[in-house]
Amino acid sequence: MTGNGADNFDEMLDANGGVREAYRGYSAWFDDQDPQGLRRKHQEAEAFFRKTGITFNVYGQDEAEERLIPFDPVPRIITAHEWRRLSKGIEQRVRALNAFLHDLYHRQEIIRAGRVPEWLLRGNEAYLPHMSGFTPPGGVYTHITGIDLVRTGPNDFHVLEDNARTPSGVSYMLENRETMMAMFPELFTQVKVAPVSNYPRRLARSLAACAPRKTEGRPVVAVLTPGIYNSAYYEHAFLADQMGAELVEAGDLRVVGGRVQMRTTRGFTPVDVLYRRVDDEYLDPLTFNPESMLGVPGIMDVYRSGGITIANAPGTGIADDKALYSFMPEIVEFYTGEKPLLPNVETWRCMEEDSLKYVLDNIDDLVIKEVHGSGGYGMLIGPAASKREIAKFTEKLKAKPHNYIAQPTLSLSTVPILTKKGLAPRHVDLRPFVLMSPNGIEITPGGLTRVALKRGSLVVNSSQGGGTKDSWVLEE
């Protein structure tokens, strides 16, 4: 193994090539392995993923293309001590997000106090006035949250994004672990790793705990999918199966007797909790987009009358807004009375005149993102962009500055991947998954590690050529 040789923090090796604490057990195992055998098992894993249908769709100019998400067999490893510290910061942030959403749809104290500007809501499509004055069952808005983290040093983790609308990727976390355990069972006897396989059971329990007041008996949980052509359909079907919940599409549901009911072989059965993987706009054609074929006509009326729980709550998408993200330090402090344990990445709001001037003057060195963008689309990575791309993006910025934020190009940490020549460092991020119910907050140890497979690339999104790794949290 060789060191990174760059300024980036290598999570496995120190500057002298020594193995860090988190990787000692794994490194001892790896050094005893036959490189050809490892590569063969890697190929077997990819064949298994293809056979199982663990794919996603990439949407572009042409027809949607179905792709396999590349899987790397070298795990990303975090010590128990590091995870404890991270968990505290993640929990603090998720509590603050939920409190913020409640306040936003009620008294808006944070706006009255001048800590968050009112313009963030004005004209923001993610803000739903239909939620005003309504409290979801149990007071929970963010039933499932994904917090994207990046690491820049031994003790330096930053939050890159909050995903409170419909965070995806948890099926890859589960399948990555199952695949690793099938490929290398002896490794898991040598290195004690916190389990993740109980996530679907915990998810089902957490959702059931948020059942509405009209529930009779054991809560019925269903997963609402847009259908087989959705990019994350595999995950929808996987989670429904693992939870023992029904997977439903809009055509399976209707409002009967003031309840949302699903069609079964025995007639219609009321649904108590709907884990929806359909965006707000398409959820109810009577309330939102009248042309939607993906939602349930009248579901919002049932929701507001206490007849169903929708997870995540409609209107949580404003928490994903990248302009709002820049106010998260103030939001965390306002609702918790504490300084954020996990800092934000420095962010310039391009709609502010001074910030726009700074961004235009330094565009070569910055990462520019769309305020409502996701999946790595619609962004510019200054240091990797051509002069033509920068000139084109500059015009976009000047035309619609309110549509963009900018951040410095971070020195993301690296974790090794397996290549034909052995181990080589690549940049990574981490998305831990957080469950919230009236009973408390649960954070699955680890999460989804996304890795930029191209040397030097900082883009980890699967839609842009990134891959995934198993994420380990060591047991004490």
Q: Is residue 249 part of a domain?
A: yes
Q: Are residues 303 and 225 in the same domain?
A: yes
Residue range 49-90, pLDDT digits in tens: 777 666 555 444 444 455 677 899 999 999 999 999 999 999
Residue 128, helix vs strand vs coil: coil
Asked whether the beta carbons of 364 and 395 are under 8 A apart, the reply is no
Which CATH number is 358's domain given? 3.30.1490.270
For 90, list phi and psi in degrees, rounded to 5: -65, -45
Instruction: Give the pLDDT mean for 462-469.
Output: 79
Average pLDDT, the chain: 91
Query: Helices (DSSP H) in 315-410: which residue ranges?
Result: 322-325, 328-336, 353-361, 387-399
Q: Is residue 182 part of a domain?
A: no
Supply the pLDDT for residue 58.
Answer: 47
Q: Are residues 125 and 238 in the same domain?
A: yes
Q: Is residue 296 part of a domain?
A: yes
Q: Are residues 199 and 260 in the same domain?
A: yes
Q: Are residues 234 and 135 in the same domain?
A: yes
| Eight-class DSSP state of 96 | H
Q: Is residue 276 part of a domain?
A: yes
Q: Are residues 319 and 354 in the same domain?
A: no
Supply the pLDDT for residue 62.
Answer: 45
Domain extent at residue 399:
348-408
Checking if the pLDDT of 287 tops 70, the result is yes
Q: Are residues 251 and 304 in the same domain?
A: yes
Place of tokens 């894993």: 45
Q: Is residue 226 part of a domain?
A: yes
Q: Is residue 454 part of a domain?
A: no
Q: How confident is the model at residue 462 (pLDDT cuts 50, 70, 90)?
A: low
- Nearest Cα residue to 93 out of 420, 384, 387, 336: 336
Which CATH number is 136's domain given? 3.40.50.11290
Burial class (CB in 10 A: 0-12, 13-18, 19+), 329: middle
Q: Are residues 264 and 401 in the same domain?
A: no
Which is it for strands 422-431 and 414-419: parallel, antiparallel or unpaired?
antiparallel
Residue range 236-280, pLDDT digits in tens: 999 999 999 999 999 999 999 999 999 998 899 999 999 999 999
Q: Are residues 354 and 327 in the same domain?
A: no
Helix/strand/coil percent split, the chain, to 5: 35, 25, 40
In sequence order, the 6+-apart residues with CB closer than 8 A to the CB of 409 are 365, 366, 367, 381, 382, 383, 458
Supply the pLDDT for residue 378.
Answer: 74
Max mean pLDDT range (220-234, 350-364, 433-447, 459-473): 433-447
Q: Are residues 352 and 300 in the same domain?
A: no
Is the pTM higher than 0.85?
Answer: yes
Supply the pLDDT for residue 55.
Answer: 54
Range scoring the smallest mean pLDDT among 5-9, 188-192, 315-319, 376-380 = 5-9
Report how many domains make up the chain.
2
Supply the pLDDT for residue 421.
Answer: 87
What's the rounded Cα separation, in Å, for the pair 93 and 87?
Answer: 10
What's the rounded Cα separation, in Å, for the pair 280 and 287?
Answer: 10
Tell me the sheet residues that pair with 68: 55
Q: Are residues 226 and 324 in the same domain?
A: yes
CB atoms within 10 A of CB 470: 26
Q: Are residues 332 and 352 in the same domain?
A: no
Q: How confident is the model at residue 473 (pLDDT cuts 50, 70, 90)?
A: very high
Strand residue runs (E) in 4-108: 55-58, 65-68, 71-78
- Nearest Cα residue to 100 out of 166, 164, 167, 159: 164
Q: Is residue 178 part of a domain?
A: no
Checking if the pLDDT of 5 tops 60, the result is no
Residue range 92-129, pLDDT digits in tens: 999 999 999 999 999 999 999 999 999 888 878 899 99
Could you tell me the two tokens for 414?
A: 């690296």
Could you tell me the two tokens for 361?
A: 């003057």
Residue range 344-399, pLDDT digits in tens: 999 999 989 999 999 999 999 999 998 876 655 678 988 888 999 999 999 999 99
What's the rounded Cα separation, in Å, for the pair 72 and 90?
Answer: 26
Last residue of a domain, one of 285, 301, 336: 336
Last residue of a domain, one of 294, 311, 336: 336
Q: Are residues 102 and 243 in the same domain?
A: yes
Last residue of a domain, one of 358, 386, 408: 408
Measured CA distances, 470 to 166, 175, 187, 233, 462 (Å): 22, 9, 13, 21, 15
Q: Is residue 241 part of a domain?
A: yes
Supply the pLDDT for residue 2.
Answer: 35
